[in-house]
Every structure is written in C-alpha cells, then in structure tokens.
C-alpha cells in the first residue's frame, strides 16, 4: 500500500473517532427544539436555565445550562421596617440578572423569560424594582401570583418526568411560599397555597416554640429535641389545613408526590443522600441536627433554616400521611420554559 493511501486511511479513521467522541458530549446540540432561557427570581436565589424546548409537545428536549446566584430578597425584606427591598439587595439582584443574561446571550436564545415569586409579591416597591430591572438589564420581569407559581412547578415537573398528570401532586417550597399542585377530575389545576414556607416557619419557631423576639433573634439554632418536636407538631397542624381534595388524593396508593425547588434539592435531599426522601429516614437524619449552632450546621448562609426546613417537611408529611416523595431538580424556570403563554 502506498504511503499516501495509508495516510489517507489514517486520517479517515481519526475523523471517525473524533465524530464518535463528539456525539455524546454534544448530543444536546442535536436535539430538536427552540433554544430558550428562563430566570426564576426566587426569594433566596436567582436561577437560570437554558434549554431546547419542543414547541409541539411543550417538553424540554435538552438542558444546555443551569446556573444559580444567591440573592437574599426574603431575608432582607424581613429586616425591613417599611416592607421594601433595600438598595443593597436590589443592586445585588440587578448584577445577578446582568451576569445571567450575559451567559444566556452566548447561547443565542430566542428570548429570556423572567418570573419573580413570593418576595416580590410581598415587597411594596417590587413593581418599581421590576421596571428598574428591565431598564438596566433588558429583561422584563413578570411578578406571578401563587396560583401561577404552582402551575409552573407542576408543568415543569411534567416536562421532565414521565408521570401520569392525574396521579401526581407537585410540592414546591420556597423562601416565602409553598404550593401543592394537582389536577382536578375535570383536568383543571388546583393549587393549595401552603400555610407556611421556609422563612415564615423559621420565624414561627423562634416566636411560638422558643418564645424569643425576632428583633433580637435571627436563628432558632441550636434547637433542643423538645423544641424540634414542638416545631414538628406545629407543621403537622398547618398541613392538616390543606384542601380536602388534595388530602384525599394523597391517601391514594397510586399518587406520586414530586418535590421540586431549591429547598428540597439543596437543603433537604442531602440529609438523606437520596432522590427518594422517605419520612422515617428524614426523621432520623434531622434528629442528628439537634443542639447544633449555625456554624456547626450545613447550608452556610442558609444555616438558620437547616433544621426548621426538614422539620417543616416532616410535619407536612406526617399531617398529610405522605410516606415518601421523589425529589426532582425542577424550579420555576422549567415551567416558564414550557408555558405556551410566555412564548406566543
């Protein structure tokens, strides 16, 4: 065989090898669909997701990028004397959105949809701040109500999991609100607005269980076993105020409970190190957090809710007779990416 032919065959083989190596790592680029970006401006963090979405099915065909930047809107709002975002947290939020938009622009997205949730619903200067965000970043912000937030969580979960919508309850807990969402027998959305959330429950524990003043106490830690038991029972009481239709659905053995959002994914799931959170396993893991200070607890800047978050979830699981939940890495970006009304 001539030297030139040998080199040609070798070059061909190298080319084939490069294609084989390229395909797995770039499969997302081959998936069909529009490249879209969505921002979830939550109470404690701003999340970006860039994905390919099939408009015909409203399914995410490939996730291209996920990124989250902490912005403590809810925490700063609680410290406010006039129920407004202060200048410092607003500047931090604007810089976060600028940074995330620059990232999204690199993917040549069709457009960026941004939704803001509980903290923005509460802050009296949120509408003005939303307009400022758009003026300074070019990203329009939609402040959504709790019903719409529940619908986005439900749609997001269904966009990424093969569950039966009629036999699913999606449970989303954030810094300032909680939603349990399902479909009625008629196929309409039913959103239960939970009676607490991460920050409110922490404050409830400080005030009602520990008898301390929120003006001088910002964390319930360290918590005693007795205090933890009292918090658990309080969460159980709140859970039992849930809509009867959802309570009934949760008693059915075929009902699948999907837990979504940063609280489940980053605060609670690591305690059991499993995507399936079983009630007894979570209880045993939470017991180990007793009598620990913020410095001794996981969560860094969120250590103040490292104990009350799992206690709140345990109380709800007990009050609603939920034995286990499946944690799925879904937040409002997934729902926003696939909600047709946002992309018409």
pLDDT for the residue numbered 13: 56
Model pLDDT for residues 263-304, shown as the tens digit of each residue: 999 889 999 999 999 999 999 999 999 999 999 999 888 899
Alpha-carbon gap, residue 302 to 235, rounded angstroms: 20
192, 179 in Cβ contact below 8 A?
yes
Number of domains in the chain: 2
Phi and psi at residue 51, to the nearest 5°: -150, 160
139 and 52 in one domain? yes
Model pLDDT for residues 149-187, shown as the tens digit of each residue: 999 999 989 888 889 999 999 999 988 899 999 999 999
- Structural domain contains residue 10: no
pTM: 0.81
- Structural domain contains residue 17: no
Domain that holds residue 112: 31-145
Domain final residue pick, 145, 172, 193 = 145
Per the structure block, which two tokens stand in for 233?
């029972």
- Structural domain contains residue 45: yes
Model pLDDT for residues 248-268, shown as the tens digit of each residue: 999 999 999 999 988 999 889
**DSSP code, position 54:** E
> Contacts by 130-135 with C-beta closer than 8 Å and gap 24+?
132/90, 132/94, 133/93, 133/94, 133/97
140 and 88 in one domain? yes
CATH number where 200 lies: 3.30.420.150
318 and 198 in one domain? yes
**Helix H or strand E encompassing 19:** helix 3-25
Domain final residue pick, 145, 179, 203 = 145
pLDDT for the residue numbered 18: 47
CATH number where 92 lies: 3.30.420.40
323 and 263 in one domain? yes
- Structural domain contains residue 73: yes
68 and 134 in one domain? yes
305 and 253 in one domain? yes
CA atoms within 13 A of residue 6's CA, in its CB half-sphere: 3
205 and 79 in one domain? no
168 and 313 in one domain? yes
72 and 202 in one domain? no
Alpha-carbon gap, residue 190 to 224, rounded angstroms: 37
Domain final residue pick, 145, 173, 188 = 145
What are the DSSP E strand ranges found in the chain? 34-41, 45-54, 59-70, 112-116, 141-143, 168-173, 178-183, 189-193, 256-260, 276-278, 324-327
pLDDT for the residue numbered 331: 86
- Structural domain contains residue 237: yes
Model pLDDT for residues 210-241, shown as the tens digit of each residue: 999 998 999 999 999 999 999 999 999 999 99
Tokens 């307009």, residue located = 131
- Structural domain contains residue 21: no
User: Binning pLDDT at 50, 70 and 90, where does residue 29 land?
Assistant: very low
314 and 173 in one domain? yes
- Structural domain contains residue 332: no
- Structural domain contains residue 291: yes
304 and 257 in one domain? yes
135 and 167 in one domain? no
């Amino acid at each position: 065989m001539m030297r030139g032919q040998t080199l040609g065959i070798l070059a061909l083989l190298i080319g084939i090898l490069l294609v084989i190596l390229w395909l797995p790592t770039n499969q997302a680029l081959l998936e069909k669909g529009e490249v879209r970006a969505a921002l979830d401006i939550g109470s404690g963090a701003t999340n970006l997701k860039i994905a390919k979405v099939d408009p015909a099915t409203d399914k995410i065909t490939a996730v291209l990028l996920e990124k989250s930047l902490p912005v403590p809107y809810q925490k700063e709002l609680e410290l406010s004397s006039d129920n407004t975002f202060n200048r410092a947290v607003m500047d931090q939020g604007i810089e976060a959105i600028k940074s995330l938009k620059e990232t999204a622009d690199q993917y040549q997205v069709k457009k960026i949809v941004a939704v803001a949730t509980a903290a923005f619903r509460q802050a009296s200067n949120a509408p003005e701040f939303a307009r400022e965000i758009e003026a300074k970043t070019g990203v329009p912000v939609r402040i959504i109500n709790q019903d719409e937030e529940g619908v986005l969580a439900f749609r997001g979960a269904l966009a990424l999991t093969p569950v039966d919508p009629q036999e699913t309850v999606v449970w989303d807990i954030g810094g300032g609100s909680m939603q349990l969402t399902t479909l009625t027998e008629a196929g309409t959305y039913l959103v239960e607005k939970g009676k607490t959330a991460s920050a409110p429950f922490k404050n409830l524990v400080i005030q009602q269980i520990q008898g301390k003043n929120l003006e001088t106490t910002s964390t319930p830690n360290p918590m005693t076993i007795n205090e933890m038991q009292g918090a658990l029972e309080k969460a159980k009481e709140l859970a039992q105020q849930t809509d009867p239709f959802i309570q009934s659905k949760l008693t059915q053995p075929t009902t699948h409970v999907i837990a979504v959002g940063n609280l489940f994914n980053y605060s609670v799931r690591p305690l059991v190190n499993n995507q399936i959170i079983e009630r007894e396993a979570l209880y045993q893991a939470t017991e180990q957090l007793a009598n620990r200070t913020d410095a001794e607890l996981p969560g860094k800047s969120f250590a103040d809710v490292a104990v009350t978050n799992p206690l709140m979830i345990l109380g709800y699981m007990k009050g609603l007779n939920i034995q286990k939940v499946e944690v799925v890495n879904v937040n409002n970006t997934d729902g926003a990416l696939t909600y047709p009304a946002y992309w018409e």
